[in-house]
């Protein structure tokens, strides 16, 4: 070994192998080429990743990175634990012994679905039954008895009332759409309201179909005035019929309105010079 070699820092093997003497290069790998290290230097310069061997008196964690080693930066910290929105224990608790959903839980979930539907739109009893029949949880549906219980409970609380719903639909149809009795009856039937409830609601409606039809026809004649008499009559009759007015009311109203509109002489649409 030369003086230059003594000034160099010792070479530390990365994987715990023996340190080689710079002066022994080319002389082979025999025992004569290995320079023993003092115990203090062994403890100071031992490889970070050297693992303990059998009979070694070093600490048991000598094979792990030290606290200051970069490898301890991320691996040494505990990783965050993700928690499920619904725990496995909760799902098992809500499940029935046979693996299906708990009937009481199914009923509560179905009631919540029905309440959400009622918040967006009024439903008849028939429509509410369809909602409950279509609900399914864990391949389990409500039976007829459970559906009847839910419907009775909602009717008792006032959430479902076909008579009130029929009154609202009639008021809206008359005031906003100018509908007659036939159209109103058809609408209530489509909503699944019983016939006796429909008849009772229509009986409360004033018998003023002629007045409502006249008001509607006069508002439409302003846009039909540019047409010839036959075309205007045909279109007005169709509009009144689609709004549910009876044939007698349509004929009477059209005759009255056409007489008001075309009572005076009216030049033809084509002129020849």
The reported pLDDT for the residue numbered 81 is 42
Q: What is the DSSP string of 198-245?
A: HHHHHHTS-S-HHHHHHHHHHHHHHHHTTS-HHHHHHHHHHHHHHTT-
Highest-confidence range of 91-100, 146-155, 230-239, 262-271, by mean pLDDT? 146-155
User: Three-state SS string across 50-100, please?
Assistant: CCCCCCCCCCHHHHCCCCCCCCHHHHCCCCCCCCCCCCHHHHHHHECCCCC
169-184 confidence digits (pLDDT tens): 999 988 888 788 888 9
Instruction: Give the per-residue pLDDT at 239.
Output: 87
SS3 155: helix
Distance CA 239, CA 260 (A): 18
Residue scoring higher pLDDT (61 or 253): 253
pLDDT for the residue numbered 175: 83
For residues 124 and 181, what is the distance between their CA atoms, to the nearest angstrom?
20
Taking a C-beta distance cutoff of 8 angstroms, is the pair 213, 250 a contact? Answer: yes
pTM confidence score: 0.50
The per-residue pLDDT for 209 is 77
pLDDT at position 63: 52
With tokens 């179909």, the residue in question is 209
- Could you give the C-alpha distances from 118 to 80, 124, 127, 128, 201, in angstroms and in order? 42, 10, 10, 9, 22
pLDDT surpasses 70 at 161: yes
> Which pLDDT score, from 0 to 100, does residue 15 have?
58
In the CATH scheme, what is the code of domain 209-261? 1.10.10
Cα distances from 110 to residues 66, 96, 107, 129, 136, in angstroms, run: 59, 17, 5, 11, 8
Domain residue ranges of the chain, discontinuous segments joined by +: 3-50, 101-157, 162-203, 209-261
Cα 249 vs. chain centroid, distance in angstroms?
48
**What is the average pLDDT across 101-120?**
89
261 vs 158, higher pLDDT: 158
Residue 161 structure tokens: 């009332």
Instruction: Look at the alpha carbons of 94, 100, 101, 104 in this order and tell me if their dihedral is positive or negative.
Output: negative
More confident residue, 205 or 128: 128
Question: Which stretch of 57-61, 138-142, 153-157 has the lowest confidence by average pLDDT?
Answer: 57-61
Structure tokens at 2: 């030369």
Average model confidence (pLDDT) across the chain: 73
For residue 113, the model assigns a pLDDT of: 93
**Mean pLDDT computed over 238-263:** 84
The per-residue pLDDT for 137 is 72
Per the model's pLDDT, the better-predicted residue between 137 and 89 turns out to be 137
- Give the rounded percent of residues in the chain with a pLDDT score beyond 90: 26
Cα distance between residue 150 and residue 110, in whole Å: 9
Using pLDDT thresholds of 50, 70 and 90, give the confidence band for residue 27: very low
């Amino acid at each position: 070994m030369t003086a230059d070699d003594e000034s160099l820092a010792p070479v530390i093997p990365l994987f715990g192998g023996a340190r080689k003497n710079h002066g022994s290069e080319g002389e082979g790998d025999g025992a004569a080429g290995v320079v023993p290290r003092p115990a203090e230097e062994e403890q100071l310069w031992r490889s970070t990743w050297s693992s303990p061997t059998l009979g070694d008196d070093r600490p048991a964690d000598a094979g792990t990175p030290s606290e200051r080693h970069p490898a301890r930066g991320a691996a040494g910290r505990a990783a965050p634990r993700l928690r499920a929105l619904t725990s496995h224990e909760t799902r098992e608790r809500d499940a029935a012994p046979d693996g299906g959903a708990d009937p009481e839980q199914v009923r509560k979930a179905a009631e919540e679905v029905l309440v959400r539907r009622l918040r967006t739109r009024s439903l008849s009893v028939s429509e509410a039954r369809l909602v409950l029949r279509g609900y399914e949880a864990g391949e389990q549906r409500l039976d007829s008895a459970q559906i009847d219980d839910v419907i009775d409970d909602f009717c008792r609380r006032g959430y479902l009332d076909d008579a009130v719903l029929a009154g609202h639909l009639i008021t809206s149809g008359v005031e906003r759409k100018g509908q007659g009795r036939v159209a109103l009856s058809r609408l209530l039937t489509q909503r699944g309201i019983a016939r006796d409830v429909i008849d009772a609601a229509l009986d409360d409606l004033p018998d003023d179909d002629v007045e409502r039809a006249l008001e509607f026809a006069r508002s439409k004649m302003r846009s039909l005035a540019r047409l010839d008499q036959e075309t205007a009559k045909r279109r007005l009759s169709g509009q009144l019929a689609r709004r549910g007015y009876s044939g007698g009311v349509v004929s009477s109203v059209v005759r009255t309105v056409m007489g008001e509109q075309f009572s005076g002489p009216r030049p033809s649409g084509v002129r020849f010079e």
